[in-house]
Structure 1
Amino acid sequence: MSNLLIVESCNDEFFINRLLQVLNLSSEIKVGSPVCHIDEYQCLNGLSETLLSNKLKEIEIEIEKRGIEKIGILLDADKDGIESKLHLLNNVLKKIDSTICIENVNQWVYSHILDVRISCHVLNVDGHGELETLLRKIKSNNSTFADCLHSWRECLSEHAEAISDKEFDKFWVNIYQRYDTCAKKEKKQAARKCSFKASLQKDIWDFSSCYLDSLKRFLLSFV
């Protein structure tokens, strides 16, 4: 049997893979092993109800063929909030199985129609945000370059321009990775050594942070 985790983007996948390493789960991941680990990812490349619905329909065909027993879904709260994302997900799930209703994050529900257990976790900080919002909270290095973006944002405001919180968080993480935590020698190969994926293998994030507790419980619940 195997487990499937659906994530919204490649960055989510890189982050989860790193967190699995921290939790000592990645080395034990084997396709076809008893249900105890996450052993495959499906990327959504941005969330919409239609895209999520199409992805679940694809998976529906594969559940019995591949012996999938648990399906986890990882979403971003964004500015809409956790409840809004759960509502969106339930709308999609009910098109497949009208009896399904996920009321809380990290809650497992069983679909008799699909013969699979389904759960969801929503990445957030204080109820809103996304992966990058979370990463800002668990950064562990000096972030002078990235923090100076606040002055830049204030300058934009003074000129009647604005950048959304979502865009700002993404930009902050990018600058933190590229300028605050990437060594001079690494910058000669910045595309590879200062990338999002590369940064997650560096000691620049606090993976013991309490901000990750709920997400860790979600991942461990696959065991």
Structure 2
Amino acid sequence: MVTIRPHRLILIGCLISGFACPASLALAGSLDGRPKIVLHVPTNQAATCQVPIADCSNAATAGRIGDIGAGAGRIVYLLLERGFIPRPAVVQFGLSYQQNCPENLSDGVGIDILSWTSCMRTRLGNGEWPEPGSSLDFLTECPPQPPSLVVLGSFYLSAYSADTLRVDASHPDRPGGFIETCNSGSGFYLYYPDFGSVVFSSDGQMAGCNPCVERCPDIPTPVPPAAPAA
């Protein structure tokens, strides 16, 4: 059986009817048309603020620890697929790895984030970004015609042993994240199924979750990183 995404059905319908279709419908890559926060591990390790993939459904969510040596640096992109939100103004969410313990930021176990490059103006949320368990607000400046998929920034990290990096709630007491729109007073909640993850493993065969192609876990359980190989 062939499954057609909801926004594709809308696109087909307005094309058949002869009515003008919003341009975003033709480009949206989300499974259900909702906004998504996506993590992507590229093959090219030169990070830029240019979108590295044509569609969020193409995001790679598996990384191999031994690609260039255990602990060697890797780039991970942080992407926003805006879905049916026409003009996001502020995007709020958090970051989870190392069991959300800030003191494990550079302990040589699991994932250690060495540096962060932002592709837009930000406002500190909870904790010190990009520490485990921290959050950040991304300010888009409300461009008149924003692209469907944008780069929020990129991490340069080391994976010393098996571990998972995932998008998380913006605060421990909140159920997810939030998008303020450029229309004053309106907004949209993001939930765990809208949040992506990447997994680093010894063989690179264990994938994380791409929310543009599947429903991610509702409330992920933090998993401690594996001990580095002796």
Q: The TM-score by the shorter chain falls in which range?
A: under 0.3
> Which is greater in Rg?
1
Higher RCO (C-alpha under 8 Å, 6+ residues apart): 2
TM-score calculated relative to the size of structure 1: 0.26
Would you tell me which structure has more strand in proportion to its own residues? 2
